[in-house]
Structure 1
Amino acid sequence: MRIAVMKENCPGERRIPLIPATAEKLVKLGADLAVESGLGLSCRFEDADYEKAGASVSASRRELLQSADMVLRLRKPPKEEIELMRQGCIHVSYLDPFNEAGLVELLCRAGISAVSLEMIPRSTLAQKMDVLSSQANIAGYAAVLLGAEHLDKIFPMMTTPAGTIKPARVFIIGVGVAGLQAIATAKRLGAVVEAFDTRPVVEEQVKSLGAKFVKIDLGETGQTKDGYAKALTPEQLALQKEGMTKACARADVVITTAQLFGRPAPRLIDRKMLAEMRPGSVVIDMAVESGGNVEGSEVDKITEISGVRVLGFGNLPGRFAETASQMYSSNLGNFVEHFWDKQTKVFNLNRNDEIIKGALITHAGEIVSEMYKSIINK
C-alpha cells in the first residue's frame, strides 16, 4: 500500500505531519512510504533523514497525489488537489468539516475516503490518536508564555532588598486539556492561579494542580459523552458573566480556552468586562480562530481595549513546531498502525469500528458521518 505524506503549504505553518521516527515505524509495518521533498525542513529534518528511515522522497507533488492509496497531511487539502487523488484514496488530516461544507462535498464527489482527525472519539482506546488533545497541550503552554511576555509584571513572588514583589494573578476560563496545561504552566512560573469551567466535575483536577476553582452556581450543567462542555441557557450565561467579571477584575492575565465542537466559540468576555480589568492586564483568546471568546479580539493581532491588551494569536501549537510535530506525528502513526493489517500490509478501513465511524466523513461517493450530517443539516 502506497502512503504519500505531503509537505504543508499553508502560509506561516511550521509544523509537519510526519517525523522520521514515525516514518520508520510505518515502513516497518510494510507500507510503501513516499514523502514530498522538503517535508521536514521547517523542523530541521532533511530528506536524507526520511530516506534513512526507509521512505522514498519525491519532488513531484502531483505524482505523489496521483499514485497514493493513502494521503497523510496536517491541514485540510487545497481544493485544487482533491481532483488529483484517485477514487478510493484514503485521506487523513485535519478537515474542519463543519466550516468546510464545500470541501467535504468535493471530497465526496471525488470518491475520497476522508478521515477528519478532529472527529476521532475521545475514548480510552483512541487517546493515542487524539490530535486535538496533543495540540491543545502545546497551545495551553504557549498561551501562558504569551501572557508572561506581554504583561508588564513578573509572574512569581520575589522577596528582594527593594521589597517584596507580589505574584501575578492568572485566571483561566475553560478546564479542558489546554486549560489544565495552562494552569500547570502558570503555577510553575509562580503565579497565583484561578480557573473556571461550567463542568463542576473538573474542580478536583484544578485543585490537584494547586489552583483555586472559581465556583459560580449555574444550576444544572454538564458535559457531552465526548467530554465537551454543554451549551448554557441565557440565564446561565448571565450568571456566568457576573461571576467571571469579578474574577477577571482581580486578574493580571486572563486566558480563555472555551470552544464548542462544530459551532462558533462562545462569547465569554465583552467590552464591559474588559473595562472592569486593571489597565495593563492581558487577555489571551485561544478560541480566536473559531469566532473568539473575547469581544474585539482579532486573529494574529494585539488589540488594546480599555487599557487591556487582548491577544488573538492563531496556531499557538505552531509556535513550538518541533514538539507539536512530534506529537502530531505520533498520533498519526498510531492511527495508521491501529488499523493496519499486518498480513496483507494494507490499512483496514473498518467501518464497523467506533473510531472510524466517528472520524470518517466521506466514503465511496457518500457523506457517511452521522454527526456531520446532523449538525450541517440543522
Structure 2
Amino acid sequence: MIRVLVPRECRPGETRVAATPETVRRLSARGCSFQVERGAGAASGYPDEAYEEAGAALVDAASAVWAQSDVVMAVQAADLVQQRPELEQLPAQSVLLGLMEPHGNEALKGRLQERRLQGLALELLPRISRAQSMDVLSSQANIAGYKAVLLAASALDRYVPMLMTAAGTIQPARALILGAGVAGLQALATARRLGAVAYVSDVRAAAKEQVESLGGRFVDPPELEQKPGESGGYAQQASERFLSEQRRQLTEQLALADMVICTAQVPGRPAPRLIEDAMLTHMRPGSVVVDLAVAQGGNCEGTQPGTTVLRHGVQLIGADQLPCSVGNHASALYARNLAALLEHILNATPAEATGLHLDLNDEIVAGCLFTQSPVAVGGAA
C-alpha cells in the first residue's frame, strides 16, 4: 500500500490542487491510500466531502500523517519545501512530486538531499511520446494560451470578429502570436474561434505547418545562415543577431496588430526579449500585449508580473499565473498528469515490494529526477 499525501498549497494566488476526487479513485484502485489536507481542493471547486466519497482520509495541517507518507503530491512543490515545517517529518526516501523550478535551484536541491527525499520535478519530464499523458507543462500552457486571448479580447477597445451592421462593417481584429509552442497554438485556435485574423511568429520554420493547419498565417523567421534549432520539444536559445533581425521584422507586424500574445520561453534561461520599448511606439494606441513569459523576464520590455502597465498607449498585461484563473480544469488536467506519472512508476514496482520503487534506468523517471536517494521508498531495492 502506497501512502499518498495531498497538502494544501501555500503560494499566494495558487488555486490548483495536485489530486482530484477522480484521480484519488483512479489511484486507489492501484493500491494507493490517500490522505488529503482539509481544504486542499476548495479553491479549485473540489470540496472535502468529494474526497471522502472518493475514499480519501481528511487530515489536519499539523497532523502526524506526514511521518507516515510515502509520496507527497503538490503543485508548487518548491514552496512546500520552503514554507511547510511538516516536511521535516517525512521519512527518508519519500517521493515529492510537483513543480520545483529546478533550473539552477541549488538551495532546494540541497534541502531535499539533506532530508534524503527523492524529488521528481515535473518541469524536467522528457518530451517523448510515452510521457505525453504526464506532461504538466503542456496541459497548463494550453490553459494559459486560451486565457491569454480572452484577457486580450476583454481589454481591447475593438470587437474581435468581423461584424456587418446597419451602421457599416467592422473589420476583424488582428492578433499576433509570438511562439508556436503549446500555449501559442492554443492562443491561435482561440483567437480564430473569436473571429480574429491571426499571425504567428516562431523561430522554427517547421512550425509553419501546425500554424496553417489551425487557420493561422505564419510569419517566416529571418533568413540567416544560423537559426535556432529545437531540443527536447523546446526551441533553443537564439543568437543576439537573430533576435535583432527578428525584432526588426516584428516591428512591421506590431504596427498592424491589435493584440499580441507573447509565449516564447526557453527552459532554464531568461525569456528572449522580442519587443523593445521603442517598438511599442509603432503600435496603435488602445492595442494590447499579453506576456505569458513575464515571470522569466518577459518577451516584452516593461511588462510586470500580475499587473497591467500602460506604455505609449498600449496595455501591457503581465500574465504569470493564468492556469490559476481556471482552477477547476487546471487542477483536473494537472492531477491526471500526476496520476499518469505515478501509475507509470507503480508499473515498475515489483509486486512483492512494500513501497514505491523508482527505476532509475527508465527514461521518464531518470529525466525528471531532481534529487536522488540510494534506497527506494518503503525499503524496496
Same fold (TM over 0.5): yes
Aligned mates of 1:344, 1:180 — CA distance in 2: 45
Matching of residue 43 in structure 1 with residue 44 in structure 2: yes
Shift in CA distance, 47/247, structure 1 to aligned 2, threshold 3 Å: same
Contact 1:218 1:240 in 2 (8 A): no
Cα deviations across residues 172-216 of structure 1 (Å, max 9, x unaligned)?
000000000000000000000000100000100000111100113
Task: Return the match for 1:339 from 345, 348, 354.
Answer: 345
| Stretch of structure 1 that moved more, 62-71 or 186-195 | 62-71
Match of 2:252 in 1: 246
Match of 1:171 in 2: 176
What percentage of residue pairs aligned between the two structures are identical? Answer: 41
Task: Return the match for 2:204 from 185, 199, 207.
Answer: 199
Match of 1:93 in 2: 98
Aligned mates of 2:3, 2:367 — CA distance in 1: 24
Match of 2:378 in 1: none
Matching of residue 78 in structure 1 with residue 73 in structure 2: no
Match of 2:146 in 1: 141
Output aligned runs, 1:290-301, within 5 Å.
290-301=296-307
| CA displacement at 1:33 relative to structure 2 | 1.4
Q: Across the two proteins, how many residue pairs are aligned to each other? A: 366
Q: Secondary structure at the match of 1:347?
A: coil
| CA displacement at 1:86 relative to structure 2 | 2.0
Task: Return the match for 1:281 from 281, 287, 300.
Answer: 287
| CA displacement at 1:117 relative to structure 2 | 0.5
Aligned mates of 2:284, 2:104 — CA distance in 1: 36
Letter in 2 for 1:38: G
Output aligned runs, 1:22-171, within 5 Å.
22-76=23-77, 77-79=80-82, 80-81=84-85, 82-171=87-176
Q: Secondary structure at the match of 2:129?
A: coil
Q: Secondary structure at the match of 1:250?
A: coil
| CA displacement at 1:264 relative to structure 2 | 1.2
Contact 1:339 1:348 in 2 (8 A): yes
Q: Secondary structure at the match of 1:236?
A: helix
Match of 1:369 in 2: none
Contact 2:228 2:238 in 1 (8 A): no
Q: Secondary structure at the match of 1:311?
A: strand
Letter in 1 for 2:157: D
Contact 2:179 2:202 in 1 (8 A): yes
Shift in CA distance, 222/233, structure 1 to aligned 2, threshold 3 Å: closer
Match of 1:3 in 2: 4
Match of 1:358 in 2: 367
Contact 1:93 1:115 in 2 (8 A): yes
Aligned mates of 2:260, 2:341 — CA distance in 1: 35
Aligned mates of 1:216, 1:175 — CA distance in 2: 12
Cα deviations across residues 231-271 of structure 1 (Å, max 9, x unaligned)?
11222111111111111110000111011111111111110
Matching of residue 258 in structure 1 with residue 264 in structure 2: yes
Unaligned runs of 5+ in 2: 376-381
| CA displacement at 1:222 relative to structure 2 | 4.4
Letter in 1 for 2:18: P
Contact 2:118 2:369 in 1 (8 A): yes
Letter in 2 for 1:47: D
Aligned mates of 1:189, 1:207 — CA distance in 2: 17
Letter in 1 for 2:185: L
Aligned mates of 2:311, 2:278 — CA distance in 1: 10
Aligned mates of 2:38, 2:367 — CA distance in 1: 32
Aligned mates of 2:194, 2:230 — CA distance in 1: 33
| CA displacement at 1:289 relative to structure 2 | 1.0
| Stretch of structure 1 that moved more, 214-223 or 256-265 | 214-223
| CA displacement at 1:11 relative to structure 2 | 1.1
Aligned mates of 1:224, 1:334 — CA distance in 2: 26
Shift in CA distance, 99/285, structure 1 to aligned 2, threshold 3 Å: farther
| Stretch of structure 1 that moved more, 7-16 or 211-220 | 211-220
Unaligned runs of 5+ in 1: 367-378
| CA displacement at 1:223 relative to structure 2 | 3.2
Match of 1:348 in 2: 357
| CA displacement at 1:3 relative to structure 2 | 1.0
Aligned mates of 1:166, 1:354 — CA distance in 2: 50
| CA displacement at 1:365 relative to structure 2 | 7.6
Contact 2:273 2:300 in 1 (8 A): yes
Shift in CA distance, 243/61, structure 1 to aligned 2, threshold 3 Å: farther
Match of 1:375 in 2: none
Q: Secondary structure at the match of 1:126?
A: helix
* Aligned alpha-carbon RMSD (Å): 1.5
Matching of residue 319 in structure 1 with residue 310 in structure 2: no
Aligned mates of 1:260, 1:216 — CA distance in 2: 17
Aligned mates of 1:246, 1:168 — CA distance in 2: 16
| CA displacement at 1:342 relative to structure 2 | 7.2
Contact 1:116 1:361 in 2 (8 A): yes
| CA displacement at 1:217 relative to structure 2 | 2.3
| Stretch of structure 1 that moved more, 91-100 or 133-142 | 91-100
| CA displacement at 1:68 relative to structure 2 | 0.8
Q: TM-score, normalized by length of structure 2?
A: 0.93
| CA displacement at 1:61 relative to structure 2 | 4.1
Contact 1:216 1:239 in 2 (8 A): no
Contact 2:163 2:170 in 1 (8 A): yes
Q: Secondary structure at the match of 1:97?
A: coil
Contact 1:109 1:365 in 2 (8 A): no
Aligned mates of 1:195, 1:356 — CA distance in 2: 34
Contact 2:88 2:115 in 1 (8 A): yes
